[in-house]
Amino acid sequence: MKHLVRFFLLCLFSSPLLSADVDPRDLIQKAMDHWRGTSSYSDMTMTIHRPDWQRSMSMRSWTKGEKTSLVRVTAPKKDAGNGTLLKDNNMWTFAPKVNRIIKVPSSMMSQSWMGSDFSNKDISKSTDIIDQYDHSLLETREQDGHTVYVIESIPHEEAAVVWGKEVLMVRDDYVLLEQQFWDQDGILVKTMKALEIKELGGRTVASILRMGKQATPDEWTEMSVQDISFDVSHPDSLFTLSSLRNPRQ
Amino acid sequence: MTITLRMAWRNLWRHKRRTWLTVGAMVFSNLLLVFMISLQFGSYRMMIDNSLKSYTGHMQIQREGYNDEPKMRSSIDAIIPLATKVREQLGSDTVAARGVAFAMTSSEERSYGLQLVGVEPAFEPKVSTLPGLIKQGSYFTDINAAEIVIGTILARNLRVGIGDELTLLGSGHDGSFAAGIVDVVGIFGSGIAEIDRNMAQLPIGYFQNLFGMGDKGHNIVINAAELSEVTVLQHAVMGMLAGDDKLVVLDWEILQPGLKQAIQADFASAWFMYAVLIVLVAFSVLNTQLMSVLERTREFGVMMALGVKPARLGGLVITETFVMSGLGLVMGIASGLLLTGYFSQAGFTYPGMEEMADRFNLPDRMYPSISLLSTLLGPVVVFLFSLLASLYPALRLFFLQPVAAMRAV
């Protein structure tokens, strides 16, 4: 309720200040493009933190367009070779221990991805927000010499989305600073925050992202990007089930 | 007092037929109450036993907090030695260790998320009816075998049969990837759709290995011989675990709060019917006693004129009711016990029950459970309400004017 009131106030007082030339949908699209490029290749580390333990995994990821990507675990040795392939909203996972590829059923999409705080859906449907939501600019503010746009995105009536709304904070150089996931009762469920922003692969990007649930502040998952290159050309054969099974890179 | 009692006794038999009719109403309602309540208790016991024995058990040892939030990490160390220790100290076989995990399970064609339970093949059949409900194939016997038993609905959904392989994929205890291939050796049908659709059992040794659990597990199921012994047993097990403050022993009421609530709701609605019966009996007593007081108005007038206090007359009327209700109580309980006793040996069944019982894996006969409570509860309430009903006729006597009363018709 408090949040709601605050939003109303924000809407009331901030609307005259908004620059008329900012289209929130366009802003999100650009932020997504900025982060993914038309294609990308990156090395990253995922750290899963729990009150009594912590675990890190290194992984490599390839993306092409909005709907195609491949992620493969490279370390620790025990988990190396596990991979996920995403293609047109379908998701497959490969486990070298049993040498099997399994298609992730839609009933499992809300389950955790590789044991992290990211769900399979978070990983696979990150660009759904552009088409399946209505966007409105809540606020613009100045931060570290940048303009930050706060955008509220509410899913369409018929969209197959579990969230009631999402709030995104996008910087004027298209860096996504924060993404909040609210449920249908207007309660903040989880937040993804950019903890570090730096120049990588010729672009300013968020190099450390942390996803954490609101209810359990001492449990989170951090994605830290070591290296990323944009607009690399990947052969189509990279994003196939046989490539998921047999790494050629 | 003796004179009052003697007078009450004689007064009762001045109208034999009327007294017998009223006593008869009480006997009938008491008989019905004893039988119904015993049957109800019996069916609750059956309900509890059946639903607990299908999976949950009478009580479980868990790590504190696991029941509220079942997490992979809230585990019990060295669970099999602990289960063995409990088994030895209790001198009972009905103790079994389990591990629980969530995993994606895939056949050639399909995948489903489900709950995997690692069990001790030697002891699981003693705490749960599930291993006995294998419809195809058999239950595993080797604690380390890569074998799985699944429910009928899951088997249909996955389109697998005995001898087919399933791939399991999940997160291990240390957060690493857990993956394994198991053979389907058995398919169980519990009749409970949720269990048949969402659960599968594997041997605990293989389970621990698959999920990187080491020697850990999540709960130890303990069954008592009788439901009534659960509390005593729970304290005994608590005593054994006194050294470890991280472990708790939870009984079925905490593990399955819905069951207790369902029973309470059912009992409350049954009491509505009983209340109608009891109130009817109370009114028939009120009617009898009021009539017997009214028809004796002249007699009471004479007695008062002779110096008998109204309190004594009131006492007389209440004593009459007391004796009459006592007769109803004793004869009602006796006949109720006879009837209930017969059915508690022979079992009670009604047309169509067999089919229903077969579907839900229940015994096809209900056995009323006779206890002090189930026997006395109904009749004692009838007795008290009858006494209460006699208060009004008794109190009327205090407003009786001897002269007017003697002239009354």
- Scanning every residue of chain B, which has its alpha carbon at the shortest distance from the alpha carbon of A100? B167
Instruction: Provide, as residue numbers in chain A, all residues whose Cβ is less than 8 Å from the Cβ of B180.
Output: 97-98
CATH 2.50.20.10 is the classification of domain A2-57+116-234: yes
Of A48, A102, A115, the CB nearest to B104: A102
**C-alpha–C-alpha distance, residues B120 and B80, integer Å:** 8
Instruction: Give how far Cα B38 sits from Cα of A30, B27, B372, B406, Å.
Output: 73, 16, 10, 50
User: Shortest Cα distance from B259 to chain A (angstroms)?
Assistant: 28
Average pLDDT taken over every residue of chain A = 82
Residue A16 binned pLDDT confidence (cut-offs 50, 70, 90): very low
Percentage of chain A beyond pLDDT 70 is: 90
Of A4-13, A126-135, B317-326, the least confident: A4-13
Count how many pairs of residues, chain A against chain B, have C-beta atoms within 8 Å: 62
Residues of B with CB under 8 A from a CB of A: 73, 102, 104, 106, 110-113, 167, 169, 171, 174-177, 179-181
User: Quick one: chain A helix, strand, coil %, rounded to 5?
Assistant: 20, 50, 30
pTM of the entire predicted model:
0.73
Instruction: Provide, as residue numbers in chain A, all residues whose Cβ is less than 8 Å from the Cβ of B177.
Output: 73, 78-79, 82, 95, 97, 114-115
Do B147 and B182 form a contact (C-beta atoms < 8 A)?
Answer: yes
Contact: A108, B181; criterion CB under 8 Å: no
Give pLDDT tens digits for A20-56. 467 888 888 888 888 777 788 889 999 988 888 888 9
Of B111, B171, B175, the CB nearest to A102: B111
Of B104, B175, B177, the CB nearest to A97: B177
Number of Cβ atoms within 10 Å of the Cβ of A46: 23
Contact: B104, A105; criterion CB under 8 Å: yes
CA dihedral B310→B312→B317→B319, nearest 10 degrees, is 160
Contact: B171, A112; criterion CB under 8 Å: yes
Instruction: Provide, as residue numbers in chain A, all residues whose Cβ is less than 8 Å from the Cβ of B179.
Output: 95, 97-98, 100
Number of H helices, E strands in chain A: 5, 13
Instruction: Write out the DSSP string of A160-196.
Output: --S-SEEEEEEETTS-EEEEEEE-TTS-EEEEEEEEE
pLDDT of residue A127: 64
User: Shortest Cα distance from A184 to chain B (angstroms)?
Assistant: 23
Do B140 and B186 form a contact (C-beta atoms < 8 A)?
Answer: yes
- CA dihedral over A235, A239, A243, A249, signed as positive or negative: positive
**C-alpha–C-alpha distance, residues B110 and A103, integer Å:** 8
Contact: B111, A111; criterion CB under 8 Å: no
Exposure string over A86-112, b if 16+ CB within 10 A, otherwise e: bbeeebbbbbbbbebbbbbbeebbebb
User: Chain A interface, mutation test: which of B112, B176, B182, B246, most A Cβ atoms within 10 Å?
Assistant: B176
Instruction: Provide, as residue numbers in chain A, all residues whose Cβ is less than 8 Å from the Cβ of B111.
Output: 102-105, 108
Q: Phi first, then psi: give them for residue B39, nearest 5 degrees.
A: -65, -40
pLDDT of residue A126: 62
Contact: A55, B180; criterion CB under 8 Å: no
Contact: A105, B180; criterion CB under 8 Å: no
Contact: A102, B181; criterion CB under 8 Å: no
pLDDT of residue B134: 87
Instruction: Provide, as residue numbers in chain B, all residues whose Cβ is less than 8 Å from the Cβ of A112.
Output: 171
**C-alpha–C-alpha distance, residues B139 and B188, integer Å:** 9
Percentage of chain A beyond pLDDT 90 is: 10
Is the model's pLDDT at A9 over the cut of 50? no
Domain ranges of chain A: 2-57+116-234
Contact: B169, A107; criterion CB under 8 Å: no
Give pLDDT tens digits for A144-184. 888 888 999 888 888 777 788 889 898 888 888 899 999 98
Helix (H, G, I), strand (E, B) or coil at B97: strand
Of B110, B175, B180, the CB nearest to A115: B175
pLDDT of residue A174: 86
User: Shortest Cα distance from A13 to chain B (angstroms)?
Assistant: 43
Contact: A111, B113; criterion CB under 8 Å: yes
Contact: B177, A111; criterion CB under 8 Å: no
Q: What's B176's DSSP letter? A: S
**C-alpha–C-alpha distance, residues A194 and A223, integer Å:** 10
pLDDT of residue A10: 43
Question: Can you give the pLDDT of all 409 residues of chain B as single tens digits?
Answer: 588 899 999 998 998 999 999 999 999 999 999 998 898 888 888 878 878 888 888 999 999 889 888 888 888 988 999 999 998 988 888 999 999 999 889 888 888 888 999 999 999 988 888 888 888 899 988 989 899 999 999 999 999 999 999 999 888 888 788 889 999 999 998 878 888 899 999 999 999 999 988 899 999 999 988 888 888 999 988 888 877 778 899 998 898 888 888 888 888 888 888 999 889 988 988 998 888 888 888 999 999 999 888 899 999 999 999 999 999 999 999 999 999 999 888 888 878 777 766 665 567 778 888 888 888 988 999 999 999 989 999 998 888 888 888 887 6
Instruction: Provide, as residue numbers in chain B, all residues whose Cβ is less than 8 Å from the Cβ of A97.
Output: 177, 179-180
**C-alpha–C-alpha distance, residues B339 and A137, integer Å:** 78
Contact: A79, B73; criterion CB under 8 Å: no
User: Shortest Cα distance from B246 to chain A (angstroms)?
Assistant: 15
Of B73, B113, B167, the CB nearest to A107: B113
